[in-house]
Amino acid sequence: MSSFLIFLAAIAAIIFFLIGIYNSLINLRNRVKNAFAQIDVQLTRRYDLIPNLVEAVKGYMKHERETLEAVIKARNSAASSLDTAKLDPSNAAAMQQLGQSEGALGAALGRLFALSESYPDLKANQNMLQLQEELTSTENKVAFSRQAFNDAVLNYNNKAESFPNSIIAGMFNFALASFFEIESPEKRAVPEVKFT
């Protein structure tokens, strides 16, 4: 009878161990979702600031209609990608699309700010300066939120891929999460070095 009790105790210990693994995977997956929610807040704020920026610039940059339209188009594309990524932050394709959309938006905003340098009255406009400051602040918050998200993804993926957790993760369809990387062609380009 005592060997039967030892057997039951061993089975109970294994069950509690497996439940612990499952619960820790749930906890880490929820941290990934929470971290993405922080990114969502900051990106939504950024998207809300962009139409105000375009309106502030319109009066000064009448001949730069293509640039303004490119900014709005990139903003709408990024907002759409964000909506898709919100549904499942662990979806690799959705995260990649969001990163690409964010890269395109950053490039469009960069062109807008570069063009604004050609308009001295615009550069001195208080509304424009305030919007630029708010966008810069939001960009910094996005970067911090993205780092927190990527840290949460790393912790979750490490837990889900390590043994014996990988068995439980496979049994209960815990898909690996994808990092949020913003594609920036400028960062990937090889710098040109010239000696004169």
* Cα→Cα distances 163→30, 90, 157, Å: 21, 21, 12
Asked if the model's pLDDT at residue 191 lies above 50, the reply is no
Q: pTM value?
A: 0.75
pLDDT per position as a tens digit, 18-43: 999 999 999 999 999 999 999 999 89
Count how many residues are written for the chain.
Answer: 196
Peptide bond before residue 120 is cis, with ω within 30 degrees of 0: no
pLDDT score of 156? 93
Residue with tokens 């903003």: 75
pLDDT score of 123? 67
Which residue did the predictor score with more confidence, 171 or 58?
171
pLDDT score of 89? 86
Categorize the per-residue pLDDT at 188 as very low, low, confident or very high, splitting at 50, 70 and 90.
very low
Beta-carbon count within 10 A of 48 CB = 13
pLDDT score of 91? 83
Categorize the per-residue pLDDT at 17 as very low, low, confident or very high, splitting at 50, 70 and 90.
very high
Class at the top of the CATH hierarchy for domain 33-142 = mainly alpha
Domain ranges of the chain: 33-142
pLDDT score of 90? 81
Query: Can you tell me the distance from the alpha carbon of 52 to that of 62, in angstroms, rounded to the nearest whole number?
Result: 16
Categorize the per-residue pLDDT at 54 as very low, low, confident or very high, splitting at 50, 70 and 90.
confident
pLDDT per position as a tens digit, 132-183: 888 888 888 888 898 999 999 999 999 999 999 999 989 998 988 888 887 6
Which residue did the predictor score with more confidence, 85 or 118?
85
- Furthest C-alpha separation in the chain: 91
